[in-house]
């Protein structure tokens, strides 16, 4: 079963959704801060200016990545399900053959054609010619699947690192003087003075005072950055755990020297089947979590 440490909750999905929205709001926030500077200039203050940080461009790409993450998981889940189902059928047919013969029946005397897996479309017109080759081929296919998980893990970890820089950009913009002749009010406080520059955010403020709104907005966003760091860590661990299961399947299936009898084949397939069915449950859980 999936360990509690890996399961993802509805509250965490809320963090993911809100962080995705935040990523998409950072460039518009920079533009609104520029509008605040111009508004202050028109009222007689010296024009303030804050440089555009190119890291904001990456925030837009990360927003798109998170929005499409479920599609990436689905694209891995489909071939994984096919492989797991083929493996399960192979294991069942091997057990049935063992009942008709014996556990000690030499594997090299078993024709590969007795297994429906030998005629599966997964071989792409290059079917195996022996049972050992078929087992080995399954290992190679699980190895190929494993290549999908590391990029997801490293992307999530990269987004986690990147979030620290985005938080710094956000905090600087909120606290930046709204004009070059006064330290106060800050740009963040000025944002909430007019509807046109008020950030669109999903919290209920305790007061209509722009100073209080700015403080509560910044506090909530700061907490969201911290929550995303925790979530991205857990999601990367989830991806790593899925990768580990493909690695285990690959290792067990590629090693066929100890597979001399039907009994040994059954033992190997049983171990591998347990691990990859857990992998499939994890994929189902992750995709369902992302689709909510």
Question: CB–CB of 29/218 below 8 Å?
Answer: no
C-alpha distances in Å from residue 26, one per residue of 2, 15, 63, 214, 281: 36, 16, 11, 15, 36
Beta carbons of 56 and 34 less than 8 angstroms apart: no
Q: What is the mean pLDDT of each run of 10 residues along the chain (292 residues)?
A: 66 97 96 94 91 94 94 90 96 97 95 96 91 95 90 92 96 94 92 94 95 97 97 93 94 90 96 94 92 78
- 171-217 pLDDT, tens digit per residue, is 999 999 989 988 889 999 999 999 999 999 999 999 999 999 999 99
Specify the 3-state DSSP secondary structure of 143: helix
DSSP state of 118: G
Are 4 and 280 spatial neighbours (Cβ–Cβ below 8 Å)? no
Residue 91 contacts residue 273 (beta carbons within 8 Å): yes
Place of tokens 């859980």: 285
Contact at 8 Å (CB) between 116 and 93? yes
DSSP 75-117: HHHHHHHHHHHHHHHHHHHHHHHHHHS-TTSBGGGS-GGGSGG
H or E element that contains 38: helix 10-42
pLDDT tens track for 80-96: 999 999 999 999 999 99
Domain-wise residue ranges, the chain: 10-291
Look up residue 55 and give its two tokens. Answer: 């890291």
What was the pLDDT predicted at 258?
Answer: 83
Residue 105, CA distances (Å) to 97, 99, 110, 129, 165 in order: 10, 11, 8, 19, 63
DSSP conformation class of 287:
H
Q: pTM for the complete prediction?
A: 0.89
Residues 6+ apart with CB under 8 A from 228: 15, 16, 19, 160, 163
Query: Tell me, what's the pLDDT at 182?
Result: 87
């Amino acid at each position: 079963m999936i360990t509690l440490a890996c399961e993802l909750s509805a509250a965490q999905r809320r963090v993911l959704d809100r962080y995705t929205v935040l990523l998409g709001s950072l460039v518009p926030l920079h533009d609104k801060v520029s509008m605040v500077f111009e508004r202050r200039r028109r009222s007689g203050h010296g024009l303030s200016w804050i440089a555009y940080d190119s890291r904001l461009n990456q925030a837009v790409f990360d927003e798109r990545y998170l929005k499409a993450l479920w599609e990436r998981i689905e694209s891995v889940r489909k071939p994984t399900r096919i492989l797991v189902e083929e493996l399960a059928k192979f294991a069942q047919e091997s057990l049935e053959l063992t009942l008709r013969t014996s556990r000690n029946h030499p594997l090299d005397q078993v024709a590969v054609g007795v297994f429906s897996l030998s005629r599966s479309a997964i071989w792409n017109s290059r079917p195996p010619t022996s049972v050992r080759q078929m087992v080995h081929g399954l290992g190679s296919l699980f190895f190929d699947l494993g290549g999908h998980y590391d990029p997801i893990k490293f992307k999530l970890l990269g987004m986690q690192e990147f979030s620290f820089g985005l938080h710094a950009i956000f905090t600087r913009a909120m606290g930046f003087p709204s004009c070059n002749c006064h330290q106060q009010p800050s740009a963040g406080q000025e944002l909430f003075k007019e509807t046109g520059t008020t950030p669109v955010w999903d919290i209920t403020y305790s007061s209509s005072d722009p100073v209080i709104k700015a403080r509560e907005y910044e506090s909530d966003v700061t907490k969201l950055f911290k929550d995303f760091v925790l979530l991205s860590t857990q999601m990367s661990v989830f991806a790593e755990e899925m990768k580990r299961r493909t690695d285990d399947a690959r290792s067990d299936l590629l090693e066929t020297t100890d597979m001399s009898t039907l009994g040994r084949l059954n033992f190997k397939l049983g171990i591998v089947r347990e691990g990859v069915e857990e992998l499939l449950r994890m994929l189902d859980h992750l995709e369902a979590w992302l689709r909510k």
